[in-house]
Structure 1
Amino acid sequence: MKTRSRRLLILVLVSLLALAGYVAAGPWLAVNGIRHLVASGQTGELWRFVDYAQLRDNLRPQIREQIARGVLPSANRIGSGKRMADVIDLLAKPTLDAMASPQGVATLLTGSSLGRRAGLPQGAPNDPLADAETRYESASLFTASVPNADGDTVVFEFRRSGLGWKLTGLRLPAH
């Protein structure tokens, strides 16, 4: 009986260590999952690693702010604050819909908006997450930072979703 209890205890400890290792490796699994799906053109499967509703909610205030900065200089011609907010929402909606979609995420990761890796042959697909600077910001927030074409940093935010991790936000450069 004593040997059986010891084996059970060892089995439980090994299982807990394996689970902790899986959870700790989760963000890198999500980043590599996104990279693989984008590279193979399987953008319809990105839902496994991207929470589009949270991504849209995260991007909405950033995009509205950037549009507002462009609209404010001509605000006197637009009129009331309510009308200006309506114009900003009207301009922001298609941008949000485009960015927070499987094709939008794939375009962001393969297009020229993010900086190309040094030494990448001409015509080779861009894969900015390959050299991303990654770190845990908290137990449930992991970030991958990459430069855009202008040299500013775009931060991909991954949050825990059950035992896995999903892309839930982007921190866009502020200009």
Structure 2
Amino acid sequence: MKYLVALLAVAALGYLAAMPYITVNQIREAADRRDSRALAQHVEFDSVRQSLKDQLNARLLQGLGGEIKQNPFTALGAAFANMMVDGLVDTYMTPAGIEQLMRGETPAPGIPSRSSSQNKTQSGSQSDPYKPNKPFSDASMGYVSPNTFVVTMKDENEEEARFILRRRGLEWKLTAIVLPLDNSKQAK
């Protein structure tokens, strides 16, 4: 009886440790099928949008630097830019936009993605320059804490985007996407 209880405890711990990997696989499959409902079940869109807004606004203010203190019109322009960033993030951060990021593509609402172009050109040619990447292809992943799991993707320029999953009870949810916005740090 002791061995059975120990075996069940080890199996339960193994399953709990594997949960973020299982969630990433479910996200990958949903994105590959372009199943926005299934993808949305694994994403906290409000927190993903807020993380992106914070990053983009911080990058904008960093780029303006000391100009805001010297020129009041720059501060006014920054306020308008913040509103634009908020609107753009709200427009782009949809299941389709996240799926495009997972493929290493730039999300563009209303513009056909590479994968839809593939269907049109596939019949005539063997080599398709628009062949889409698989979601999270060549991604590295792992725990950074007991409640945080990170999937790291590189784009065609070898810049890294990180997809942050956090534990929500027994489930894992995508809660943030960290984009490679600060090229000055990478150059040093």
Q: Scaled by the length of structure 1, what TM-score is found?
A: 0.77
Deviations 1:10-43 (A, max 9, x none): 4443333222112111111111111111111101
Give me the whole-angstrom Cα distance separating, in 1, the residues matched to 2:130 and 2:136: 18
Aligned sequence identity (%)? 27
Give me the whole-angstrom Cα distance separating, in 2, the residues matched to 1:121 and 1:137: 38
Structure 2, unmatched stretches of 5+, are 108-126, 184-188
* 1:140 and 1:159 in contact (8 A); partners too: yes
Q: Quick check: 57-66 or 104-113, which moved more?
A: 104-113
Find out whether 1:17 has 2:40 as its counterpart: no
- 1:60-139 aligned at under 5 Å gives the runs 60-70=53-63, 75=68, 79=73, 81=75, 83-110=76-103, 112-113=105-106, 122-139=129-146
Of the three residues 128, 138, 161, the one matched with 1:154 is 161
* 2:67 and 2:74 in contact (8 A); partners too: no
Deviation beyond 6 Å, 4+ runs, structure 1: none
- 1:2-41 aligned at under 5 Å gives the runs 6=1, 9-41=2-34
Matched letter for residue 136 of structure 1: Y
The equivalent residue for 1:169 is 176
Matched letter for residue 160 of structure 2: T
Q: State the superposition RMSD in angstroms.
A: 2.8
Q: Structure 1 residues 104, 44: CA separation in 2 closer, same or farther (over 3 Å shift)? A: same
Q: Scaled by the length of structure 2, what TM-score is found?
A: 0.72
The equivalent residue for 2:110 is none
The equivalent residue for 2:50 is 57
Deviations 1:83-133 (A, max 9, x none): 34531321111222134321211121236349xxxxx97443212513111
Give the number of the structure whose residues are more often helix, by fraction.
1
* 1:113 and 1:149 in contact (8 A); partners too: no
Structure 1, unmatched stretches of 5+, are 1-5, 115-119
